Structure 1
Amino acid sequence: MSVAADTARQLRDEADRVLDFALASRTEHGFGWLDDDGRPTDRPLELWLTCRMTHVAALGLLCGRSEFAALVDHGVQTLSSSFRDPVNDGWFTTIDADTGAGVDDRKLGYPHAFVLLAASSAVVAGRPGADQLLAAARKVHDEHFWIPSKSLVHESFSADWSTSEPYLGVNATMHTVEAFLALHDVTGEVSYLDRAEAMTLQVAGWARDRDWRIPEHFDSDGRILPDYNRDRPADAFRPFGATVGHGLEWSRLALSVRASRLRLEASYNGDELVTAATELATRAVADGWAADGADGFVYTTDWDGVPVVRARMHWVVCEAIGAAYALGQVTGEKHWDDSLLIWWHYAQDHLIDTDRGSWHHELDEHNQVSHGTWAGKPDVYHALQICLLVGDGLPLAPSFATALSRREDTE
C-alpha cells in the first residue's frame, strides 16, 4: 500500500493534536471521562478509560513527547493503588473520582484486557512500577479470565470472583487479542500469540458461517444469543445484532496476528487470516458505509445487514481506516488505498473538531453531532492509534508501543 506523503503527514499531525487533548485527562486517582472541551467530568473513574489513557500516554512518550512521562507514571501508580482491589485482587470497574474508593467492585474482562495493554505499553516505555503491574495483571488474567477450553475470556465476575456472569462476549475477546499481541511482543512468550491466533480464527469461523457478520453474544456454554439486547440496540458495549466496527477491527487484528506469526516463522502461510480479514472488512463496508443514503458507517445492523442503529461512531471510522491500511499493505489492492482516503476525508469533514479538539465521538444519521450513546469525548485511544499507524507507516507487527520504541531506536 502507498499512502500519499501529504495524507500521512495529515494523520501524523492529527496524532499530535489528539495527544494535546489528552493532556488534561489526569485526575487525582486516574484519568477522567472528558467532555467536549477536554475537561474531566464528575463521573466515577472508569478502569477501561484509565487503562486506555495510560496506554495513550505511553505512546505519546514513545513518540518523543516527554511531557507524557508523568502521565504514564500516574496511570501505573493509580492502577497499582486506587483501582486495585486490596482484598480480592484484580481491579475495580469504577472508583469514586474524589476519594478513590471502589464504586463498582465487579471484575470485568473488557477492562482487565486493557490493564494488560496499559501495563505492557508502560513496560515498553521503561516506566517505574510497570513490570510489577504487568506481572500482577498477567497473574490475575491467567487465573480468572482466560478459558483455554473455549479460547475465550470470561465476561465478568462478582467482586470476590465467586460467581461468573452467564454470558460470553466477543468485545472482551477482541480486546484480549489486542492485549495478548502486545504481551507477546513484550515478553517474547509465544503462548500469547497462540492464544490470540486461536481466538481470531474461532471468531472468523463464526462470522464465515453467518455471511461474515460476527455474532457478538453467547451464553456460558458458548451458544449464540442472536436476539441479545434487542431492546437495547444502542448499548455502548453490547449492542444488538452485528457491530459494523468490530468487523473492521477484527480485520486489522487478524492481519496483525498473521504479521506476528510471520516474524517468527517466515514460511507461515496465513492465507486463512488474509481471507478472513478481507471478507470481514468487505462485509462491514457493504453493510455499514452510507447504508441509509448518507456518508458514514452505521453502528449496527440486523443479521440480514439492515441498519438498526444509524448513529455514526468515530471509532468505527478509525477502525475502517486501520483495516484499509492493513489490507492495502497485505493485498496491494488499490481500492483499499482509495477507501482509506474516502474515510479519512470523511473524518476531516465530519468528525475532527478543529475548534474544541479531538474527534466528535458520535454523529446522528444526518452527520450532526449527537450524544445518544456517547457523552462528550471520553478518550483518544482509537483516533491516536490509527493516526500513528498510518501517519508513521507502522508495521502490522509488532504492536503499537513496541513498534514505536523500535522506530525510535533506529532514528
Structure 2
Amino acid sequence: MDTFQPSFDSWLNAPAHQHWLAAEGLRLLTFAKASKLPEGFGNLDEKGHLAPDAHAETMNTARMMHSFAMAHIQGLPGFAELVDHGVRALSGPLRDAEHGGWFAVAGHRDDNTGKAAYLHAFVALAASSAVVAKRPGAQALLDEAIRVIDAHFWSEEEGAMRESFARDWSGEEAYRGANSNMHATEAFLALADVTDDHRWLVRAQRIVERVIHGHAGANDYLVVEHFDRDWQPLREYNHDNPADGFRPYGTTPGHGFEWARLLLHLEAARVRAGMLTPGWLATDAQKLFDNNCRHGWNIDGAPGIVYTLDWDNRAVVRHRLHWTHCEASAAASALLKRTGDEQYETWYRLFWEFCDSHFIDRCDGSWHHELDPLNRPSADIWAGKPDLYHAWQAVLIPRLPLAPSMATALGQLSQSVPV
C-alpha cells in the first residue's frame, strides 16, 4: 500500500493548519473537563454545565477517558487524573460486579440492566488508550473488556458482534447492527496495536467484509444499518422513529464516512502487520465517500450533510449533526493521504469551512452538536454538548498516519521528538 504526498498545496502540509487543529483540540478538551462526576463522566449542556440530576454513563465515560488518554499521551498536563478517574469508574460503579460487563448508567436500575455491544466496544477502546497512556489499572480493565467481548459478543460463526443481552447474558436480542460493529472495528484496530495480536485485524476484516463489502456494496455503498439475527436487512426498522440517535431509519451518510476512514485504517494496519490485504478495502472506502457525498451533501438545497436518507436517497431527517461532519472531514483527510487525489482536498476544506461557520461555538465553547434544516442550532435529537470524542478525533486524524491506531501513533510520536 502506498500513501501519497499531494502534488498541490494541501492543508495537511500547512503548518498554520496543523496549529489551528491543535488549538481547536485544546479548546475542546478544556470545555470537556467539566463533565466529571463522582461515578464517571456525564452530559454537559450547551453552556458546559452538568445538570443537577446528571448521572455518569458508560458511553461518555469511555469516550472521555479515551479522549483524555490521548491528550495525556501527547504531553498535555491536567489529563492524567481524568484518565485515572475513568479507569476507576469503569472498574467500579459502571461495571456489573455480579455478572460481568458494563451497565449503560451507574447504579442498579430496572431500565439499566442490559449489556450492549456498542458500549463494550467503547470500554475496550478506552482501556486500550489508557494502557498506551500507562495509567494504573488500565491493563486489568483492558483484560476484562477483552474477556467479555470474547465470551459474549464476538460470534466466530458470523464474523461479527452480537448486539445485546440481558444483564445475566440471557435473552440475546434478535438484531444485528452495523453501528455496534463499526465501533467494534474501531476498537479492534486499537486492540491489535496494544496487544500485538493480529486476530483483532482478522476480526475487523471479517466485520468489514460482511457489513460493507457485502451489504453496503449491494446498496450503492450506502450503509445498511439494521439486520435480523440471520443478517437479513430490516429496511423498515424504526420507520416510525426515524430520528433515533443510535438506530435511525434508512441510511446514515455519517456512518458511510466513518466506515470509509476505518477501511483505510484497517488496510494500513494489515499492511503494517505484513498480512494479506485485499485491494477492495481502498476502493470500497472511495465508493463509500463518493456516494455519501453525492447523496448526503446539499441534498435539500442547503449546505451540510443530512442525518438520514430513505431507500430512494431522499432526505428523511434533514438535521445536520456535528459528528457526521467530523467523520466526513476525517474521511476526506484519510483518503487524501491514501490517494493524493485533489478532490479529497476540496472536500476536506469544504467540510472544515462548514464546521467553522456553523458548528464551532466560540461564544459558549465546544461545538453545537446539532443544526436544524436551516442550519440553526437545535436540540431535537441531541441536547447539549456531551460529545468530545468526535470533534477531538477530527482534529487529531489529519495529523496522524493511517496506522497504527490513534493512541499508539501519538505514543510513538511522543517518543520520536528530539530533546
Bucket of the pairwise TM-score, normalised by the shorter protein: over 0.9
Q: Does 1:202 align with 2:210?
A: yes
Deviation sequence 1:11-31 (CA, Å, 0-9, x none): 121111101111111100000
Q: Does 1:408 align with 2:414?
A: yes
CA distance in 2, matches of 1:223, 1:201: 15
Q: Does 1:257 align with 2:266?
A: yes
Contact 1:94/1:102, CA 8 A, preserved across alignment: no
The structural deviation recorded for 1:261 is 0.7
RMSD (Å), alpha carbons:
1.3
CA distance in 2, matches of 1:155, 1:40: 30
Q: How does 1:43-122 map to 2 (within 5 A)?
A: 43-96=54-107, 104-122=112-130
TM-score normalised according to structure 2 size: 0.94
Q: How does 1:2-401 map to 2 (within 5 A)?
A: 2=10, 3=12, 4-41=14-51, 42-96=53-107, 104-204=112-212, 205-265=214-274, 268-390=276-398, 393-401=399-407
Aligned residue for 2:78, secondary structure, equals helix
Partner residue, 2:3: none
CA distance in 2, matches of 1:227, 1:79: 35
User: Hey, which bits of structure 1, 4+ residues long, moved more than 6 A?
Assistant: none
Deviation sequence 1:30-75 (CA, Å, 0-9, x none): 0011111222233432211111011011011112112100000000
Contact 2:185/2:204, CA 8 A, preserved across alignment: yes
Amino acid at match of 1:82: P
Deviation sequence 1:132-155 (CA, Å, 0-9, x none): 000011001100001111122111
The structural deviation recorded for 1:379 is 1.9
Aligned residue for 1:300, secondary structure, equals coil
Structure 2 unpaired stretches of 5+ = 1-5
CA distance in 1, matches of 2:16, 2:111: 47
The structural deviation recorded for 1:214 is 1.1
Deviation sequence 1:119-139 (CA, Å, 0-9, x none): 000000000000000001100
Contact 2:165/2:172, CA 8 A, preserved across alignment: yes
Amino acid at match of 1:215: V
Deviation sequence 1:252-279 (CA, Å, 0-9, x none): 000000000110128x554200110000
Q: 1:157 to 1:258 in 2, by over 3 A?
A: same
CA distance in 2, matches of 1:376, 1:321: 22
Aligned residue for 1:39, secondary structure, equals coil
Amino acid at match of 2:188: F
TM-score normalised according to structure 1 size: 0.96
Amino acid at match of 1:45: A
Amino acid at match of 1:28: P
Amino acid at match of 1:328: L
CA distance in 2, matches of 1:164, 1:45: 25
Q: 1:12 to 1:270 in 2, by over 3 A?
A: farther
Amino acid at match of 1:35: D
Aligned residue for 1:82, secondary structure, equals coil
Structure 1 unpaired stretches of 5+ = none
Deviation sequence 1:86-120 (CA, Å, 0-9, x none): 11111111125xxx878601101100000100100
CA distance in 1, matches of 2:273, 2:374: 47
Amino acid at match of 1:253: L
CA distance in 1, matches of 2:16, 2:300: 31
Contact 1:122/1:130, CA 8 A, preserved across alignment: yes
Q: 1:219 to 1:101 in 2, by over 3 A?
A: closer
* Identity between Structure 1 and Structure 2 (%): 46
CA distance in 2, matches of 1:408, 1:5: 18
The structural deviation recorded for 1:407 is 0.4
The structural deviation recorded for 1:9 is 2.0
Contact 1:299/1:310, CA 8 A, preserved across alignment: yes
Deviation sequence 1:354-409 (CA, Å, 0-9, x none): 0111111000011100011100011210000110112xx20011111101000000
CA distance in 2, matches of 1:196, 1:244: 21
Amino acid at match of 1:206: H
Contact 1:352/1:358, CA 8 A, preserved across alignment: yes
How many positions carry a matched residue from both structures? Answer: 405
CA distance in 2, matches of 1:207, 1:43: 38
